[in-house]
Amino acid sequence: MKNIIMPKLSDTMTEGLLGHWLKQVGDTISRGDIIAEVETDKATMGLEAFDDGVLLEQRIRPGETVPVGTVLGTMGTPGELPVKEAPGEAIAAPVQPAAVQPAAVEPAAVEPAAVEPARSAAPEITTREKASPVVRRKARELGIDLEMIQGSGADGRVLLEDLEKIAGVTPSAAVTGEPAVIPAVQLPPREGAGVESRVARMRGAIAATVGTSWREIPHFYATMEIFMDHAEEVRRELQMAGSPVSVNDLILKGITLALPKFPSLNALYTDEGLVPQNDINLGIVVNVTAGLLVPVLREAGSLTLVELADQTRKLVDLARNGMLTPADMSGGSFSVSNLGPQGVSQFSALILPPQVAMLAVGAVGETVIARDGEMVVGRIMRVTLSADHRAVDGAYAAGFLQELKSVLENPVRLLI
């Protein structure tokens, strides 16, 4: 028998909502079939079967939100009986930040069946068995004693709608959104997508991430002005030659050239301490209707400027069309937020844990500067590095900004 679990679909995901079961108990499942849909704050994913078998049971009902690692159901061989366990309980489901979920189905340890004497009365259903974790949590919030409720679910299981009837509270609505899958199979979008609900869930996920960042990471900030006259000349020349490159692309390329000299900024801060990363995987903050997404440009240091620009455009398009996969949003080692196109001249950004740095990029604007003893009009851009003081100090951050400034002010290096 194998457990079908709620997978961890992004670095920050802690729970997911079971949208729909696409297979029913007794249905034959082939490797590659989509068993169910899971809805997160970002998208709707399909749980893909990595083995053949039969769906033995469904432990979680559609519309329930459960923690990562929760057993959603089981599958096995025809005639096999599911092991009776507390429904909705979570099991360990560790995921490496840069890895795609290896499987939505994983083996479950099955103890040899023991023969028990016949009982004269039906076994008592405990509070833990008669409600999922999310229902128990909601009941605590509403001050409802689950022992006093006869649920409408299987075997008297209490559902969110049962709490709604008692307290007059509407449970969290199912989120529908643009599709993505595990690992990379598209699901068709359903009609009647709940935009307001999706926005609320995404804002909730953002709140959880930035709350953790603000509470746990000792931020400090360093700002530097960079003259962009020469860099913009290079951009115009590339565009005239048929290579559409943006100012943001120049900045991203400049970061890939500066970071190798400052490996402690291209790193993750974990329980074991600072872990520098071998590859430069750039997280790019993208504004979408429901909030923010951060797709990851993988191995950015190995890309030419034109290749980097092309792949960045594709990632941004996927983000704005709701087509990112979990792999597209995991494994970032350094992130960039650019509010220049919105006219913001300077700002500070919060670091995305477990990363240790985020670069906030402002708009390029004209200013009067002294150059060779004369007053001239130049184009400058302010960038602010947010850094984790547990990982680096101010001088180290300043060194990175000086290197980035040198690269962008001498942009021939961007073309190598």
- Please give the Cα distance from 325 to 319 (Å, whole number): 9
- Residue 121 sits in a domain of what CATH number? 2.40.50.100
pLDDT digits (tens, 9 = 90+) for 110-166: 444 443 434 333 334 444 446 655 566 566 656 677 776 777 765 677 776 677 666
Looking at the structure, do residues 80 and 135 belong to the same domain, yes or no? yes
Instruction: List the beta bridge partners of residue 15.
Output: 67
Distance, CA of 290 to chain centre: 14
Q: Is residue 202 part of a domain?
A: no
Looking at the structure, do residues 305 and 337 belong to the same domain, yes or no? yes
Q: Any idea which residues carry the catalytic annotation?
A: 389
Q: Is residue 186 part of a domain?
A: yes
114: Cβ contacts below 8 Å, ≥ 6 apart: none
Looking at the structure, do residues 191 and 258 belong to the same domain, yes or no? no
- Residue 395 sits in a domain of what CATH number? 3.30.559.10
In the chain, count H helices and then E strands: 7, 19
Q: What is the pLDDT of residue 295?
A: 93
How buried is 301 (Cβ within 10 angstroms: 0-12 exposed, 13-18 middle, 19+ buried)?
middle
Q: Is residue 209 part of a domain?
A: no
- Please give the Cα distance from 29 to 14 (Å, whole number): 28
Domain count, the chain: 2
Looking at the structure, do residues 90 and 235 belong to the same domain, yes or no? no
Greater pLDDT, 41 or 306: 306
Highest mean pLDDT (candidates 29-43, 56-70, 265-279, 363-377) = 265-279
Looking at the structure, do residues 36 and 176 belong to the same domain, yes or no? yes
Name the band, by pLDDT with cuts 50, 70 and 90, for residue 355: very high
Which two tokens mark 197? Answer: 């609900």
Q: Is residue 229 part of a domain?
A: yes
- Please give the Cα distance from 355 to 12 (Å, whole number): 12
Looking at the structure, do residues 263 and 361 belong to the same domain, yes or no? yes
Residue 42 pLDDT more than 50? yes
Looking at the structure, do residues 251 and 314 belong to the same domain, yes or no? yes
What is the chain's mean pLDDT, rounded?
79
Q: Is residue 206 part of a domain?
A: no
Looking at the structure, do residues 382 and 293 belong to the same domain, yes or no? yes
Q: Is residue 66 part of a domain?
A: yes
Q: What is the pLDDT of residue 41?
A: 62
Of 138, 164, 195, the one marking the end of a domain is 195
Q: What is the pLDDT of residue 382?
A: 97
Q: Is residue 63 part of a domain?
A: yes
Looking at the structure, do residues 8 and 100 belong to the same domain, yes or no? yes
pLDDT digits (tens, 9 = 90+) for 153-185: 656 777 766 776 666 543 333 222 332 223 323
Q: Which of 189-198, 270-279, 324-333 has the lowest mean pLDDT?
A: 189-198
Owning domain of residue 263: 217-415
- Short-list 187, 182, 145, CA closest to 167: 145
Of 162, 195, 228, the one marking the end of a domain is 195
Q: Is residue 383 part of a domain?
A: yes
Looking at the structure, do residues 118 and 167 belong to the same domain, yes or no? yes
Looking at the structure, do residues 339 and 382 belong to the same domain, yes or no? yes
Looking at the structure, do residues 98 and 67 belong to the same domain, yes or no? yes
| Single pTM value for the model | 0.62
